[in-house]
Structure 1
Amino acid sequence: MRPVHVVGVGLHPYQRLSDTPYTRLGVHAVRAALADAGLQWRQVQTAYTGTATTGMGLSRLMFRHLGATGIPMTQVENASASGSTAFRQACVEVGAGLADVAIAVGVDKPLHFLLPQKAAGVRELVRVAPATHFALLASRYQHDHGVTPEQLAAVAVKNSCNGALNPNAQRRKARTLAEVLAPPQISGTLTRLQCCPVGEGAAAAIVASDDAIARLGLDRSRAVTVLSSASRSETVYDGENFDAALTRETTAQALSDAGITAADLDVVELHDAFTVEELLYVEAMGLAEPGRAVFALEAGEFDIGGRVAVSASGGLLSMGHPIGPTGVGQIAEITTQLRGEAGPRQHPGARTGLAHMVGVGAVCLVHVLRLT
């Protein structure tokens, strides 16, 4: 596989469900990415669209507003990891030499949340909502490690402060610990502000080969290299939380393929749909010892300006989780951080970043990026 570089990123701000057509959301993000890269739509050779809750065949209706160029387009659904998977497919196509310039777009409106059990003929006697699933994991984590509800809620406090600095975030207000702990409780000890908002939005990332950068006269100094892209699904785990176990396996593969360790990471965007997830995943990634993530958090190690900035965008908790765009939006945030263009939320000296998403099923995608 030849080297692949992110040359342009763009977003439509994440927001609550509105009357805005998804086409407008997506085209806004694509045009922003094209402008960021210094490219024209006709120079993009292939497109992947990550979406999960809007509907089939949406790519053509969206891309026609940019011009009918005959571009091959593929729609990708992989639950919360849809955008991450679209980005991986764009990278694979450029890396394999099938295209020189590819775009990954994530776009969604929260209209249809359909699970496959009924179509599979599976009768569910008990359905556990995601909030309840992670509330149970939070209870287990608190019991095993002596963690208090206040320590768990501190994740949302940190990420709300980051989100307040992000003009593309759905939640743009810094919250105190008292505000995060305030009712209503959604499930167990998880309050509303410890659960991510699911709204709408769009994100786009353009990747290119070295040949394309030279031929099209793109700014090489702003090109961020994709060091690795790992994708796995769950196996059978002996009593261990499958999301954390799958994250550990996929992250280990991505770091190994990139030739680095967790200690080399400067910025991390992860799947923090619920506060407990950040603690579980930073430990699974090797950024903290088991049960010690809360203490690293308290010490400011995961703050912007700390040892490694975790969810500098605000994460899913404050940036929001519109499903299809989320994984591509993480790539946009890391690219912006590695370029040193993140403004008030810039992590000093950021050079290497990791993007992580899990999706029901369960699947996990991890990408490692570096400004070279």
Structure 2
Amino acid sequence: MVSLSQKRPVYVIGVGMHPYQFASDTLFIEMGLTAVRAALDDAGVAFPEVESAFIGCTGIGMAAGRIMFNHLGSTGLACTQVENASASGSSAFQQAVIEVAAGRRDVSIAVGVDKYGDQVRAAGKEHVARLSDTATIPLVKYALMAEYLKKEKGLSAEDLAMVASKNHTNASKNPFAQFRKPRTVEQVLSSTLVAGTTTSLMCCPRGEGAAAAIVASEDAIRRLGIAGSRPIRVTASALQSEMPQVGREIPSVTLAQRVAEQVYDEAGISAADLDCVELHDAFAIEEILYTETFGLAPKGAGQKFLQDGSSAIGGRCCVNSSGGLIGQGHPLGPTGLGQIHEITRQLRGENGVRQQPDARIGMAHMIGLGSISIAHILQRD
């Protein structure tokens, strides 16, 4: 397998977002172009400099990118639409990075944009038999997982509520977040029960929005005169899908671990080197699981990593400083690129009241229905 370290260096030079929001009459074109224009302004480059585009979306239909880019002018850029469930934006970003790393283009943009949509799954269209009506509903899967792990790991409802409280509080300081109200542990616990002992505030909201990231080669950075301290290098990117369950392991967790180990190896780092992580927390139990899975906390000590403030902004490694999926939101197509936006700003030292001190290395991680797991390592030179 050829890693990014064996290819030419790739850097994020510009990021932009349209705030995540509940379903509205806002056109996807308006949201997408808001994010694209913000990324172009952030990079200080004109649209004709962009040579290719990858558009991650799940619910807005065919040819979304080409229609959107018509409003910026027909420049002949290569345009590809990417769908990979919740990891659509993450996968679009990976494709843009690979394109530049391989030397096919010097400047590429990844855009994630989605409206609420009907989100009809391919399996549903094919009438594929399922084990039960709830077998493939993520809420049910993770609510059951939470109940199982409460017994196995000694977790409490308060531990799960602490995850949600931390992330809602982070989101309250984020102008792009769908939820911008701090929540206490007590408020999270007293919110509506949705499955088992999982409450509504322990779950991510669905909505809409957009995010974009521009990546470029060193040649393009020199040619475009971009300041030396602002580009953030992408040092690793990996995607894998689920394998058959072995024993009592949780397949999606094992999958996330394999992907994390791959990007650590590719970037030449360990979990101890990470300063900030944006991870898939569609449900509160996931953050506790993945902090252990990624080696941020010892096995069985994910809740302690949370309780002692290690995952808070200013802690050993801040986790979901954006508010995560729970607080910032989960509009599917843009979600993974919203993570890139957050980490890029962290590594530049531009994240204001949500800034992790002296952040140099960050990881973005997403899970997609199926299941697939994808992760990227970004690093400040």
TM tier, smaller: over 0.9
- Quote the Cα distance in structure 2 between the aligned partners of 1:255 and 1:94: 21
**CA contact 2:106–2:217 (8 Å) conserved in 1:** yes
Q: Aligned to 2:125, what secondary structure does the other structure show?
A: coil
1:101 paired residue number: 107
2:183 paired residue number: 175
**CA contact 2:179–2:327 (8 Å) conserved in 1:** yes
Q: Does 1:27 align with 2:33?
A: yes
Q: Does 1:214 align with 2:222?
A: yes
- Quote the Cα distance in structure 2 between the aligned partners of 1:153 and 1:208: 40
Q: Does 1:322 align with 2:331?
A: yes
CA drift of 1:120 comes to: 3.6
RMSD: 0.9
Q: Does 1:115 align with 2:121?
A: yes
Q: Aligned to 1:118, what secondary structure does the other structure show?
A: helix
User: What amino acid is aligned across from residue 231 of structure 1 in structure 2?
Assistant: L
- Quote the Cα distance in structure 1 between the aligned partners of 2:188 and 2:253: 24
1:148 paired residue number: 156
User: What amino acid is aligned across from residue 74 of structure 1 in structure 2?
Assistant: T
Q: Does 1:230 align with 2:238?
A: yes
Q: Aligned to 2:229, what secondary structure does the other structure show?
A: helix
CA drift of 1:124 comes to: 2.5
- Quote the Cα distance in structure 2 between the aligned partners of 1:332 and 1:173: 21
User: What amino acid is aligned across from residue 88 of structure 1 in structure 2?
Assistant: Q
CA drift of 1:127 comes to: 2.7
Q: Aligned to 1:338, what secondary structure does the other structure show?
A: helix
1:346 paired residue number: 355
Q: Aligned to 1:282, what secondary structure does the other structure show?
A: helix
1:289 paired residue number: 298
Q: Aligned to 1:65, what secondary structure does the other structure show?
A: helix
Name which of 169, 191, 195 aligns with 2:203: 195
- Quote the Cα distance in structure 2 between the aligned partners of 1:221 and 1:67: 30
Q: Aligned to 2:233, what secondary structure does the other structure show?
A: strand
- Quote the Cα distance in structure 2 between the aligned partners of 1:323 and 1:49: 12
Name which of 251, 254, 258 aligns with 2:260: 251
1:68 paired residue number: 74
- Quote the Cα distance in structure 1 between the aligned partners of 2:280 and 2:70: 32
CA drift of 1:125 comes to: 4.6
The number of aligned residues is: 372
1:3 paired residue number: 9
1:369 paired residue number: 378
Q: Aligned to 2:155, what secondary structure does the other structure show?
A: coil
- Quote the Cα distance in structure 1 between the aligned partners of 2:63 and 2:235: 32
Q: Does 1:87 align with 2:128?
A: no
CA drift of 1:235 comes to: 1.2
2:59 paired residue number: 53
- Quote the Cα distance in structure 1 between the aligned partners of 2:133 and 2:319: 31
Q: Aligned to 1:90, what secondary structure does the other structure show?
A: helix
Q: Which is further off, 234-243 or 199-208?
A: 234-243
Name which of 19, 22, 25 aligns with 1:16: 22
User: What amino acid is aligned across from residue 236 of structure 2 in structure 1?
Assistant: S
Q: Does 1:310 align with 2:319?
A: yes
**CA contact 2:193–2:200 (8 Å) conserved in 1:** yes
1:358 paired residue number: 367
- Quote the Cα distance in structure 1 between the aligned partners of 2:30 and 2:172: 25
CA drift of 1:169 comes to: 0.4
Q: Aligned to 1:207, what secondary structure does the other structure show?
A: strand
CA drift of 1:41 comes to: 0.5
CA drift of 1:118 comes to: 3.3
Deviations 1:16-46 (A, max 9, x none): 0100000000000000000000000000000
CA drift of 1:137 comes to: 0.5
Q: Percent same amino acid among aligned pairs?
A: 51
- Quote the Cα distance in structure 2 between the aligned partners of 1:118 and 1:362: 16
CA drift of 1:115 comes to: 1.4
Deviations 1:25-83 (A, max 9, x none): 00000000000000000000000000012211111111111111111100000010000
- Quote the Cα distance in structure 2 between the aligned partners of 1:46 and 1:357: 23
Q: Which is further off, 311-320 or 146-155?
A: 146-155
CA drift of 1:121 comes to: 4.2
User: What amino acid is aligned across from residue 214 of structure 2 in structure 1?
Assistant: I
- Quote the Cα distance in structure 2 between the aligned partners of 1:120 and 1:242: 25
Q: Aligned to 2:253, what secondary structure does the other structure show?
A: helix
Structure 2: gaps (5+ residues): 1-6
Deviation >2 Å, runs of 4+? 118-121
CA drift of 1:103 comes to: 0.1
**CA contact 2:191–2:201 (8 Å) conserved in 1:** no
CA drift of 1:123 comes to: 2.2
Q: Aligned to 1:290, what secondary structure does the other structure show?
A: coil
User: What amino acid is aligned across from residue 22 of structure 1 in structure 2?
Assistant: F
User: What amino acid is aligned across from residue 96 of structure 1 in structure 2?
Assistant: A
